[in-house]
Chains A and B, each alone.
Chain A
Amino acid sequence: MAYRIEVGFKEKIRDALGEKIKKRIIEDLNIPVSDVKTIDVYTIDADLSKEQLIFLCQNLFSDPVIQEFSINKPLKRDFDPVVKFGQSSAYFVSPKAKQSKFYYGVDWVAEVGLKPGVTDNVGKTAEKAIEDILKRKLNGNVYTSKQYLISGILKKEAIEGIAKDLLANELIQRWFIFDSKSFSEKGRFLPIPKVEIPHQPTTSLIDPNVADEELLKISQERKLALNLQEMQTIKNYFARPEVITERQKIGLDQKATDAELEALAQTWSEHCKHKIFNAKIKYKDKDGEKEIDSLFNTYIKSSTKKLEKELDYVLSTLWDNSGVIKFNDDWLLAVKCETHNSPSNEEPYGGAITGIVGVYRDPMGTGKGGKLIYGTYGFCTGSPFYNGGLRPKLHPKRLLEGVRKGVEDGGNKHGVPTVYGITFFDDGYIGKPAIYVLAAGLIPAKVNGEPGFQKKADPGDEIVMCGGRVGIDGIHGATESSMEAGEWISASHVQIGDPFTQKKLHDFLIEARDLGLYKGITDNGAGGLSSSVGEMAKFSNGFELELEKVPLKYTGLDPWQILVSESQERMTMSVSPEKIDRFLEIAKKHDVEAQVVGKFTNSGKFYSTYQGKPVTYLDMDFAHEGVPQMRLEAEWVAPEERGFSEPKLEEIKNHNSFLEEILSRLNICSKEYIVRQFDHEVQGTNVIKHLVGQDSDVYSDAVVLKPVFDSNEGLAIAAGINPKYGQIDTYWMATLSIDEAIRRIIAVGGSLKQAAFNDNFCWPSPLLSENNPDAKYKLAQLVRANLALYDFTISFKTPCISGKDSMSMDGTIKKLDGSEVRISALPTIQFSAVGKIEDIRRCVTMDVKKPGDLIYILGITRDELGGSEYYEARGEIGLNVPKVNPKEAIKLYDALSEAVDRKLVASAHGIYKGGLAVALAQISFAGGRGLEIDLDKVPTDGLNNIDKILYSESASRFLVTISPENKDAFEKIMIESVLGEIGKVRGDNIFKIITNGKLIIEEGIPKLKEAWQKPFKNF
């Protein structure tokens, strides 16, 4: 028997969510609605008495102070279908409101609920709470949905539009729309989204010994995303006589099982094996041709390994779920940055929350397991103000809000501060956005006497799966993300991460770790158990998995689905048999589901069974090393040959208004509303926040945490991302991103002494096909970015300890006329940096402090505006992309670090996008004080164009203010670097720039700040 409970606010109680929805309907959809109210609906599919229901409503589902409820009938206080206004009938209306001349009556009811199989987190919580109250098993389920009561004189189509474009995402949600009259008559029971799979689990056999055409058909039909060469490798493996003989011993033969093909497809997917980064590439440019045997090995790994030998703080890189460096003698730091682009493109909220909650499992699943200490985000989307000729399924504004909300809920509800992040807008991301999520955790330097960054699984150890249950959600995530958006997507691929379940899991694993109850841990991400157990089993060289033991969300899953499902919030651990009882006891305390699902062995076999029958029996080394190497071609075309040149532009006449225009540009301006909605201070460790200054509302260069309570050591956290420069040359784009990330860390008081990166590539596909004719050039762009990564991580001695690539930043989008076009994003690389701070009490922020403080610019300003905000504002790209001289930069960075360390610096700010003018404005309005700047004192290499001096984006530059009494000491430390004393901090709020004795900018700082804050003020 199902019961339906509706809960809504009492009269006079403000419905803030309803108001927010109303605002967005009016502003984003341009639909004139007069009111929106919300009602929570709980459908309980279980046997309960009437008394029990009422009791639950009173004690659990409603807040007696502000809410009221109804059972099995619409929640209405004064339902009166006779009261009408125009065509409207009334619903949920107070007598008073009806008399109001603004009253239009509730005209429509839109109820939004989840599709069957999509995890209902609130429903799960409600089930547990009911059991707590009734002290018995519920033997049923709770499903939640939300009702929106929408007033306004509107047609049903408009409500459909509101539901589709704002209230729901059709991928995971469904909705029902009624006019209020028919709702009161028949809308009370909507179908329950129950999953029932009337299916006997089976393992089917596939004969791989077939012709090429058939092989490709198998790959396509099963959505394996394996190419012919890979399918042939599989065919050959199964034809080996010794393989057949061994398989026959356990009851299999020369045919492959569905589970085996699926497991290989997961393990060999682009997502897991990074086939493009490991391909053999023929690279051609005007200097000739060379062969690169794996970009990953040649550039990333060789740099990291070289630095790992040289730098003793680098401990574990490029193999585990995250990279590990030393923090201090007691603690190690594990950091991982991920992207979650494809899922976020389809379902921004679900994609992003699953992304952030998923990346948390990387530090949690590194070495002996990390306790999470911070997260960061990077949102690269189309402009939220886009009104061009493309019709993406979701408007960038909605996409941005969805991913923002996903990271908000994922982080806040997990108790992990989301401390730093970037947004970057370019309409190339309309095809697919780049959504970065990063997580870091602390691991004890030693656990049970063993280094915290190591893990193992010995033969005989139990395989334990902990956390969430397995369903068909998230099947094929690894293979799908390797495909282009729009090709296909199934609802089962999109999940809604559950930070609550994982927070419990996190607390449990930290306790189990500290008690030394497990030997190794890894997460269940892409590829599910097949990957996690497969990876861990490399230590023991084999495993036996009993798939029927895996806890399921519902029955009816085939064994292969259990094996590869990517249902979230799960970790896999190796636990020795003598510790398993204690381990399970601690899990129970934390209300975490933990289940022994098999044993690690040394059989060399990837062996799994279902109710005693074999499901997979593959050789471990074939599963992990069998993937054939791709061969690709790359051809670099220099920017000059692509038609890039320096524009000849008239100089700006009104610098005041132009500066305001630049400050309002989307990639410069404030997005404070994003930062505010992330709990960036939970754990009590945040000491330089992302918003600083007099009003705590201007971005700091980097964030600083003090992660261990009784130590003043800290971490500086920042990232660099500069896709625009890549239009000219991805070599310098990558370089400038590295330099930016470092500059940010230096600016708050960090140093180059103990810093590390995560590198995350988001690239348009470099695989040649009919609709991707310039693939060779895109691959060349990738090669050049890697070359830069190698050159500059080596120069700066900042290793990439972990990273990730996403090689399908393309999408097929409908145009207004209905035709389709393929959109590729700009090649994008984010370098996420973390650097040790010896004493956080010496850190500085970017806001100017006192009147009379001297202002310096450090570094040389050059004619480097290629890819700059200035050129873009004037409709150009240019050619002179900024370049980095690592020797000069290091000298400068070391000197500035020393000056900050000796407390000579009042404020420091890197100069980034928008150049000197933007940086000056920011330090000024952050400090709430005006400046007086003489442009003639800016050191340049012969540059005499005012516009260029103000807006050049030359790298490795800073603005520093110091107290006048520190002048000599400061200049002495900086003696080997280029610097110019360019002005003073004023006592009032006037921002002044002169050149040649002539005033070129004079503006009150409130006006500049307003320009900077304006675009997203109403978000």
Chain B
Amino acid sequence: MKPKVLILYGYGINCDNETQYGFELAGAEAEKVHVNQLISGERKLRDYQILAIPGGFSFGDDIGAGKVLATKIKYNLAAEFSEFIKKGKLIIGICNGFQVLVKLGILPGFNGNYDRQEVTLTFNDSGRFEDRWVCLKINQKSKCIWTRGIERLYLPARHGEGKFVSREEKIRERLISQNRIVAQYMDDKGNLAGYPWNPNGSELNIAGICDETGRIFGLMPHPEAFLFPQNHPRWTREKIQEGEGLKIFKNAINFVKNKL
């Protein structure tokens, strides 16, 4: 049976179609479900193995990117989300979805506490939205199931509020010591580097983190925007074998097939 993926959409989420397509290519049965279909009970989160919160501009980024959607989830769907996480099911938040997850406190979710906000994603140091491809170094020690077998990724970052900031030094230390930092911005030679390689000024060049189980993953760059070779900005001059972003979705599907 194909793993069932819930692609959350509505209220300005805008990468729902390509995220759905990415999961389908990876072998899932992916369904777009409107936020209000979950709230009304028309669809139940428990019927799915994977939840994807795609990128976009939910609520127009008003008040703070991801903030209002996080609020909507917190005050309408907290129990459903909590149950989903407890059962060890998979969640990915991409870009705006990542912003939602950190603002809900689901990430990093230290000590199994999934509702305390410890980190945030805020305005890029450049003060502007930018669409720029970034090189990512994947932490080989991370438990993240989404990035298994991946050493580096090349993906587009497209955001205005992607700068990762922790509440305090202790949080950074825990992120490092627990190998929660899954992906970091690097230059083309593999070194952590400043702008424009790090497009937003993130602490520790953080592009993505996971929870302690490695099943919940959030990242700013867009794996769903590199599903086939021609998405790559230089495919007409370099040999590109496959869409690198697809590997992320395949990992999740394989995990569900084997473990859930």
Contact = CB atoms under 8 A, between A and B. Distances in A.
A756 interface: no
B123 A129 contact: no
A538 interface: no
A552 B235 CA distance: 51
Contacts of A66: 120, 122, 165
Contacts of A504: 10-12
Interface string B8-20: 0111111101100
Contact of B236 (A413, A590, A691, A844): A844
Interface stretch (B173-181, B205-213, B225-233, B251-259): B225-233
A681 interface: yes
A590 B36 contact: yes
B62 A677 contact: no
A885 interface: no
The size class of the interface chain A forms with chain B is 35 or more
B106 interface: no
A64 B127 contact: no
B63 interface: yes
Nearest to A907: B236
Tell which of A17, A687, A706, A844 has the most Cβ of chain B within 10 Å.
Answer: A687
A691 B233 contact: yes
The size class of the interface chain B forms with chain A is 35 or more
A132 B72 contact: yes
A408 B129 contact: yes
Interface stretch (B53-61, B81-89, B135-143, B145-153): B53-61
Contacts of A706: 230
Interface in A34-72: 59-61, 63-66
Given A132-B76, A681-B225, A684-B231, A591 B10 contact: yes
A374 B197 CA distance: 27
B63 A60 contact: yes
A684 B62 contact: no
Contacts of B18: 683-685, 709
Contacts of A694: 234, 237
A500 interface: yes
A681 B12 contact: no
Given A589-B36, A591-B36, A121 B14 contact: no
Contacts of B170: none
B117 A65 contact: yes
A981 B61 CA distance: 53
A65 B120 contact: yes
A16 B127 CA distance: 5
Given A676-B132, A847-B237, A125 B156 contact: no
B68 A682 contact: no
A849 interface: yes
Contacts of B125: 14, 16
Contact of A65 (B56, B63, B119, B131): B119
A503 B14 contact: yes
Contacts of A13: 122, 165
A125 B132 contact: no
Given A65-B117, A504-B11, A20 B128 contact: yes
Interface string A499-533: 11001100100000000000000000000000000
B117 A64 contact: yes
A696 B10 contact: no
A912 interface: no
A500 B12 contact: yes
B59 A682 contact: no
A824 interface: no
A778 B59 CA distance: 47
Nearest to A504: B11
Contacts of B227: 684
Given A66-B122, A415-B12, A129 B59 contact: yes
18 contacts: A63-B103, A63-B122, A65-B117, A121-B60, A122-B62, A126-B62, A126-B63, A413-B12, A413-B60, A498-B60, A499-B60, A500-B62, A503-B12, A503-B14, A503-B57, A589-B37, A681-B231, A927-B237
Interface of B: 9-15, 17-18, 21, 34, 36-37, 40, 55-57, 59-64, 67-68, 71-72, 74-76, 103, 117-120, 122-133, 156, 158, 163, 165-167, 201, 222, 224-225, 227, 230-231, 233-237
Given A17-B127, A122-B60, A133-B71, 8 more contacts: A59-B71, A129-B71, A132-B72, A133-B75, A500-B60, A504-B12, A678-B131, A843-B236
Interface of A: 13-14, 16-17, 19-20, 59-61, 63-66, 121-122, 125-126, 128-129, 132-133, 135, 408, 412-415, 498-500, 503-504, 507, 588-591, 675-689, 691-694, 696, 706, 709, 840-841, 843-845, 847, 849, 927
